[in-house]
Structure 1
Amino acid sequence: MGGTGTRERASTRLTRDRGLCFQMNFSAARFCVLTLVSVCEAYSIGLPITQAKKPVWQSTSFAKRLWPFRHRLQPVRQANQRPVQSLFQPSRSTKQDFGQKATGRDVKLTNHHDNLYSCPITIGTPGQEFNVTFDTSSSITWVFSIHAPLAHSRKHEYKRYNRELSRTHYTKYKRFDVLYDSGQVTGYLSEDRVTIAGLTIKNQSFGKALLGPDLFRHTTNDGILGLGLGNIDGEEEPSVFDNMVSQGLLEAPVFSIYLNRYGSGGPDSVLTFGGTNPYYCEEDFTFVDLTEPHGWQFKIDRVQPSSGDGIFSESGYQAVVDSSSSFIVGPFEEVHALNTQLGGMLFEGNHGLYNYKFNCSEVDNLPDVEFIVSGKKLPLSSRDYIAKMKEKGESFCVSSICGMKWIEGGEPDWFLGLSFMRAYYSQFDKGNRRIGFAKAYSFPRI
C-alpha cells in the first residue's frame, strides 16, 4: 500500500522574487481591456518563480493577468481567423521535403481558447487520471491531494490524488509551498509512477497540493506538469523530463511542441517526447544555445518591426519560452517603442495592453515583428501577434506584446508565450543544450 508519514522532515520553499507587478481589474470601457489597480501585487495565475538566490527563469508573465477574466473576456481567435469544419493536411511532398521521418511519442494537447493548453497524465499504480497544464518555464509537477477541499464554486471539480489507492506511492516527508500571483499552493512532495504519452516514469517526485490558488476554480485543470530544465526548484528532485532521459525512455533527450490556433481547422496540438515531426513545420530549425543551466533560456540579438528601426541592446536580450503565458512579455520601454513603431496602437495611459485603434479587418496592414536569434529573423505576422477580443458582443483587437518593468535584476528580458509558440514549432534539446525554432506549418484560413 501507499507510504505514510505525518511529520515534516524538510521543507521545499518556493518564493516569488519578481519585479514590478500589477493587479488587474475588469474595465467597462471599450478600449480599456484591463485596468491597473495596484503595484507589486499581481492578480493572475503567475506560475512560480524559483528560490531566492537562484537564477530566475520561471514565469512572471504579464499576459497571465487575463486568467481571472477568461470566463468574462475571452480571446475569440487570432484576427481575421474564422473557424472551419474541415481538417486540412499538408501535402505529401511538403512532408517529404525535409528528408526526415517523425520520431518520438506524442500526446494530444487540448486548446482552451488559445489561453492555455493541457494534456492528460496518470499517477500511481493503478493510474489515477489528471488533466494538467504543461509549463516549459517550471520544473515542478503537482496535482491536488485527496485531502484538499473541493472548490464548490467551480464548475469543474478537480480530480484529487489518493495515495492509498496506489501501491507504488512513497511519501517523501518534504513540504512544498509555491507562491503564485493569485495565491499559494501548499502541500507535500511524494514519489510515484507518472505516465504520459505511454511513457511511465518511475519514482517521480511531484507535489500533492492541499491548498491552491482560487483561480484554478475557473479552469478545468487538476494541476501543473513542469517541463522546465533542471531539478525541482533547488531540491535534488529531477523533473519529469529529466527522469524520462535518465531512465532511458526516449530515443533522444528532446521534446517538441506544436500548438494550433483555436478554431483554425488545423491538426491537433501535440507534445512529442523524444523527437520531432516534420509534418508540423515548413522549414529547417534555427538553433540557439542555452545561456543558463537551470532553464530554457537563450539570447535574442534584436527585436524589430519589418518596417522601422527596431529595438536592441549591445549585449542582446535574455529570453525564455513560456508555455504558461498567453502573450509575449518584454521590457516596458522596448515594448512601448516597438508597439509605437508598428502604427495604429493606442496605449491607454495606465492600462496594460496596446489596443489597435482601427477596425480589426485592417490588421493585415500591420508590419511583421522580427525576433533576431542566432543571426536569423524569426518573424511574427500580425495574425500571430494581434489577438481579437470580444466583450458583450463587441469585438476589438489588442497587441499580444506587453510590457513589464522589473525592480530587481535576474529576470529574463523576454517571455515568449503562446502567441510566439503558435507561430513556431519548438524543439527543446537537453542533450545539445539548445532550443530550435521552425516556422509552423500555415494551415489555410477559409
Structure 2
Amino acid sequence: MVMARRGASRAALCVVAMVCAAAVFSVADAAGNTLQLKHRPLTVERIRQGKVERAGAAARRLLASSDEVTGDHAEVITNYMDAQYYGEITLGTPGQSFEVVFDTGSSNLWVPSKKCAWYQLACKLHNQYDSSASSTYVANGTEFAIQYGSGSLSGFLSADTCSVAGFELQQQTFAEATNEPGLSFVMGRFDGILGLAFERIAVDGVVPAFYNMISQFNIQPLFSVWFSRKANASPGGEIVFGGTNPDHFDGNHTYVPVTREAYWQFAVDSATVGSGDFNFCDGGCPAIADTGTSLIAGPTEEVTKLNKMLGATDAVAAECKQYLSSYLPELLQKVKNSTPLEACQDIHLCDKVEGVLRRASRKHSAARRSLASVGARSVFEEEEQGGDICHLCQVAATFIESALASNATDEWVEKFVEDEVCNNLLPASGEGVVDCDKVDSMPDIDFTIGGRNFTLTPDQYILKVSSAGQSECISGFMGIDLPPAAGPLWILGDVFLGAYHTVFDFENKRVGFANSK
C-alpha cells in the first residue's frame, strides 16, 4: 500500500494527527452477509508516513525470484498508515471486539495480545486479546512474524471462535501480536488486520478467515467491496461476504483473470491521460486491487511524469520551497558578510554545529558535487535543530554564495536557490501537489482493463486533504518502487476502488469492476 519524504517545513509530518472523524457505515443485507465498516478521512501526514513505511518494506523484503510466493513475503506491498476503511470482528467466548482493516493485500488475521510487554505502546493503546477470558481458546504457540518497513511485527499463533459479519468461525487460527513496530500501529484507529488475499501467501500456512467462511458455511466463494468517496457519507461503504449488493453498482461487472494467486493481481491493458496526451502502463502492466491502500501507487518514474502532466508540483520540492521562503531573504543578507555556516548560526538554524558544507567549493559546479557527496538528500530525513535543518540552511547558503558572485539581483538569487536546492538537488518524491483552483480543468484518466475503459475524473483522483488545519489538494497517484521480483507493479487502492464496485471471486480466480453508485 502507500508515502513521501518528511520536510522540515512542517512540524513532524511523520507524527500522525491523532484526532480524526470516523463515520460509521451502515450496510444493507445482500446476497451474502454484510459488515459495518468505519471510514477515517485522510490527512497529508498519514499519506506521507504510509509511503515512508511502504518504501521501507519494499527495500527490506525481496520477493523470491521465481514465480512462487510464500507466506513470509505476505507484506512486502502492504502498509496501513493511510488505511481508511475498517470494521469490527470479535474473538473468543464471550466475544472480545476488535477493529480490523479488511485487506486484500495480505492473508493473515492478527490482533494485539494481552501478553505484550508493558513498553509496547501500539499494543497498550488498542484492544488486546485475552486468551484467559475465553472459554473457546485453543493454544497453538507457533511463532509468527511479518516484516514491515518499520520493523518486524511478531507474536504467536492461537485459535478461537471468530465472529465476522454474522459468521461464527470455529477455531480460527490468528496471530496474537506482542511486538508492533512503527507509527502505523501506534496511531492507527484499527487494532489489527484481517487479510483477504490468497492462502498461498499466508504466513505460517494459516488458513485465512474467508476460506473458513466458505468451508464452514458453504457460502459463494466471493466477496464484494463498495467504498463511498463522499466525505462523511452515511452509509459510506460495505463489504459483502458471499455475494454482491446491486444497490451499489450499475450495469455488469467486467471480469479479468487473476494472473498470480497471491495478491489480487491482474493485467491492465493500458492507461491514458486525456485524449492520449500521455500514456503510461504502455503495452500493459501488472496491477493489484488493494483495499488496504488509499491511493494509486506505481513506478516512481512513471508517476512523476504523470503528475507533471497534471500540472502537479513534486511534494518534496513544494515543501522545500515553502520552508526556504520563510528565511531566504534574511539568509541572503547574512551570506553577503559571512560564511554559510556563520550565516545559518546567525539566524538560529545552526547551533554550534560543524557544517557539513564548510568544505564546499565556492564555485557552483564544485558545490553541487560536494553537496551530493555529503548526502544532501538526507535534508528531509529528520527534524533535529542543528541537524538536517542546519544542513538545509547551509545548502541554500552555499548556493547563495555562488550566485552572488555573478552580481545578480537578490530576487534572482532567491529564485535560483529555490530551483537549485528544491527542484534539482533533492530527488523526486513521486507525490504531487496541485492547485485546488485548477482541479476542474484537469483531464480524465482512463485505465483499460479487460478491454473496457475505466475512467477517473479529476474530482476522483485528486484528494482534498487536511494539513495543519488547511486544505491541500494531492494527486491520487503516488510513486513507489518495488523490488524486481515484485515489481514494477501498479497498486489500485481506494482512489480507484471508490469509483468502481469490486468483486473478488475466489472460485473463478478473477476480479470484476462495475460503476459504483
Please name the residue that 1:98 is paired with: none
Residues 293, 391 of structure 1: alpha-carbon distance in 2 compared, 3 angstrom cutoff: closer
TM-score by length of 2: 0.64
Larger mean Cα displacement after TM superposition, 388-397 or 376-385: 388-397
Please name the residue that 1:235 is paired with: 204
Residues 231, 356 of structure 1: alpha-carbon distance in 2 compared, 3 angstrom cutoff: closer
Please name the residue that 1:346 is paired with: 313
Please name the residue that 1:127 is paired with: 95
Please name the residue that 2:278 is paired with: 309
- Aligned partners of 1:22 and 1:183: how far apart in 2? 16
1:150, 1:158 within 8 Å by CA — same for their partners in 2? Answer: no
RMSD of aligned residue pairs (Cα, Å): 3.1
- Aligned partners of 2:502 and 2:487: how far apart in 1? 22
Cα deviation, residue 338, structure 1: 2.1
- Aligned partners of 2:119 and 2:256: how far apart in 1? 43
Partner SS state of residue 260, structure 2:
coil
- Aligned partners of 1:407 and 1:338: how far apart in 2? 21
- Aligned partners of 2:300 and 2:35: how far apart in 1? 36
- Aligned partners of 2:289 and 2:88: how far apart in 1? 22
User: Quick one: which amino acid aligns to residue 271 of structure 1?
Assistant: I
Please name the residue that 1:398 is paired with: 474
Please name the residue that 2:390 is paired with: none
1:113, 1:262 within 8 Å by CA — same for their partners in 2? Answer: no
Larger mean Cα displacement after TM superposition, 316-325 or 405-414: 405-414
Cα deviation, residue 264, structure 1: 4.7
- Aligned partners of 1:236 and 1:404: how far apart in 2? 28
Cα deviation, residue 156, structure 1: 8.2
Q: Please point out which of 8, 11, 16 is paired with 1:70.
A: 16
Query: Computing the radius of gyration over CA atoms, which structure comes out larger, 1 or 2?
Result: 2
- Aligned partners of 2:474 and 2:499: how far apart in 1? 17
- Aligned partners of 1:422 and 1:290: how far apart in 2? 20
Partner SS state of residue 313, structure 1:
coil
Deviation sequence 1:33-52 (CA, Å, 0-9, x none): 97xxxxxxxxxxxxxxxxxx
User: Quick one: which amino acid aligns to residue 291 of structure 2?
Assistant: S
- Aligned partners of 1:244 and 1:233: how far apart in 2? 16
Partner SS state of residue 285, structure 1:
strand
- Where do 4+ consecutive residues of structure 1 move more than 6 Å? 151-156
Residues 196, 402 of structure 1: alpha-carbon distance in 2 compared, 3 angstrom cutoff: same
Partner SS state of residue 5, structure 2:
strand
Residues 159, 285 of structure 1: alpha-carbon distance in 2 compared, 3 angstrom cutoff: same
Percent identity among equivalent residues?
32
1:353, 1:399 within 8 Å by CA — same for their partners in 2? Answer: no
Deviation sequence 1:343-370 (CA, Å, 0-9, x none): x212234352543443x13201111111
Partner SS state of residue 310, structure 1:
strand
Q: Please point out which of 255, 265, 269 is paired with 2:233.
A: 265
Corresponding position: 1:384 with 2:460: yes
2:264, 2:511 within 8 Å by CA — same for their partners in 1? Answer: yes
Corresponding position: 1:289 with 2:257: yes
Residues 435, 102 of structure 1: alpha-carbon distance in 2 compared, 3 angstrom cutoff: same
Please name the residue that 1:423 is paired with: 499
1:142, 1:209 within 8 Å by CA — same for their partners in 2? Answer: yes
Q: Equivalent residues in 2 for 1:135-150 (5 A)?
A: 135-149=103-117
- Aligned partners of 1:405 and 1:177: how far apart in 2? 23
Corresponding position: 1:107 with 2:107: no
TM-score by length of 1: 0.74
Residues 132, 406 of structure 1: alpha-carbon distance in 2 compared, 3 angstrom cutoff: closer
Structure 2, unpaired ranges of 5+: 43-81, 318-422
- Aligned partners of 1:427 and 1:113: how far apart in 2? 24
Partner SS state of residue 208, structure 1:
strand
Residues 377, 163 of structure 1: alpha-carbon distance in 2 compared, 3 angstrom cutoff: same
1:139, 1:228 within 8 Å by CA — same for their partners in 2? Answer: yes
Q: Equivalent residues in 2 for 1:33-432 (5 A)?
A: 68-71=14-17, 102-114=30-42, 115=82, 116-149=84-117, 157-215=125-183, 216-231=185-200, 233=202, 235-250=204-219, 252-261=220-229, 263-307=231-275, 308-314=277-283, 316-342=284-310, 344-347=311-314, 348=317, 349=423, 350-358=427-435, 360-411=436-487, 413-432=489-508
Larger mean Cα displacement after TM superposition, 138-147 or 360-369: 360-369
Residues 427, 196 of structure 1: alpha-carbon distance in 2 compared, 3 angstrom cutoff: same
Cα deviation, residue 295, structure 1: 2.5
1:137, 1:322 within 8 Å by CA — same for their partners in 2? Answer: yes
